[in-house]
Amino acid sequence: MSKAVGLLGERRLIPLRGNSQRLDGGAMFGNAPKALWSRWLQPDAMNRVPLACRSLLVIEPGGRRLLFEAGIGAFFEPQLKTRYGVVEEGHLLLDSLAAEGLSDADIDLVVLSHLHFDHAGGLLSAFAPGETPRLLFPNARFLVSHAAWERANAPHRRDRASFIPEIQALLAASGRLQRVAVEDAGAVLGSGYSFRLSHGHTPGLLMTEIARGPEQGPLLVAGDLIPGRPWMHLPITMGYDRYPELLIEEKESVLTDLLARSGSIFFTHDPDTAIARVAQNERGRFVAEGPE
């Protein structure tokens, strides 16, 4: 059972577990040596490290339900499921919603940081032999940035395998896709929300900042700008990042701002921590304090 970790009035913020995966540690930590990154995440015999694929459910006082990120889901056929280290059976995001007394049909809005399969795959029904994947969340609008949508539909050869063409087609056909800009946050989400864009991991990565009560700073759903605790350290990037030097600059700007406002990060991929406060250690490095 997931646990509400933040309130604004009666707004509830609930991290939801989805299907996890294991990816090559070298790919996840870019040019950092294994002697360093293996202190943070223990690799298995195939050199893969454990990664969550977590979503954030927000339930507002009026009953509106927002889902930030959809995780990797269970759409992979068995061969690809093995390749990408997805070990669980079934669609765990749906199970996590059910633990809150909800189904995908109860979600009003799904906000996607970008359309890589480990953030958008959960939009699809679970793999079943001979069946075509269908789009879940039948009553939700889907938000994605203009640039992220363009990238997903015209990827570079380097990141083409990170996208699932079926998702773009299904989203477009649904009539419920909304492409947004930074200035659209108030109009589409309402008060207490704002957007930031990042381009270092993938063009148009949409981050959402959520205001919280007077005793807490804001919470940033950072997507793959900062996927987990180890990546709080500025030089640490992923081999999957398109523009790692730009990402480091973006990360420094975001963390400096959140530190000044006692803000926190929602981690999509950290295997152990959903939310932690931005802090600095005695050496001046950004670190995750918590979990909350």
In a domain? residue 173: yes
**Helix, strand and coil in the chain, % to nearest 5:** 30, 25, 45
For 248, the domain range is 6-289
Q: What does the pLDDT average to over 28-38?
A: 97
**Do residues 218 and 209 touch, judged by C-beta distance below 8 A?**
yes
Provide the sign of the torsion angle of the four alpha carbons 98, 110, 249, 182, taken in this order.
negative
What mean pLDDT comes out for the span 244-253? 98
Number of domains in the chain: 1
- Residues near 243 by Cβ (< 8 Å), separated by ≥ 6? 199, 200
Residue 1 lies in a domain: no
Rounded mean pLDDT, 99-114 = 98
pLDDT (mean) for 204-229: 95
How much is the pLDDT for 2?
A: 41
Whether the pLDDT of residue 270 is over 80: the answer is yes
Q: Residue 85: give its domain's CATH number.
A: 3.60.15.10
Instruction: Read off the tokens for 1.
Output: 């059972």
DSSP string, 38-61: TTTS---TTSEEEE---EEEEE-T
Residue 114 inside a domain? The answer is: yes
Pair of tokens at residue 238: 């992923």
Confidence of residue 9 (pLDDT cuts 50, 70, 90): low
- Beta-carbon contacts of 85 under 8 Å, excluding residues fewer than 6 positions away, are 21, 22, 23, 48
pTM metric for this prediction:
0.95
Of the candidates 53, 49, 20, the residue with the CA atom closest to the CA atom of residue 34: 49
120, pLDDT greater than 80? yes
Band of pLDDT at residue 8, cut at 50, 70 and 90: very low
As a whole number, mean pLDDT of residues 53-68 equals: 97
Mean pLDDT computed over every residue of the chain = 95
DSSP E strands, 31-181: 48-51, 55-59, 65-68, 109-111, 141-145, 177-180
For residue 135, what is the DSSP state? B
Question: What is the number of H-type helices and E-type strands within the chain?
Answer: 9, 15
Q: Is pLDDT of 3 > 60?
A: no
Decide if 149 is inside a domain. yes
Closest CA to 139 of 115, 113, 164, 104: 104
Query: Is 222 a residue whose pLDDT tops 70?
Result: yes
User: What is the pLDDT, as a whole number, of residue 1?
Assistant: 35
Residue matched to tokens 């029904």? 125
Section 131-157 average pLDDT: 97
Predicted local confidence at residue 133, as pLDDT: 92
In a domain, 48, yes or no: yes
Whether residue 105 has pLDDT greater than 70: yes
- Tell me which DSSP letter residue 103 carries: -
Instruction: Calculate the alpha carbon distances from 206 to 28, 37, 143 in Å.
Output: 20, 27, 9
Higher pLDDT: 277 or 4? It is 277
Question: What pLDDT, in 10s, does the model give residues 158-214?
Answer: 999 999 989 999 999 999 999 999 999 999 999 999 999 999 999 999 999 999 977
Sign for the CA dihedral angle at 243, 19, 14, 285 comes to negative
Q: Virtual CA dihedral for 103, 140, 268, 203, nearest 10 degrees? A: 160
Q: What number is the average pLDDT over the span 261-276?
A: 98
In a domain, 134, yes or no: yes
> Measured in Å, how far apart are the chain's first and last C-alpha atoms?
17
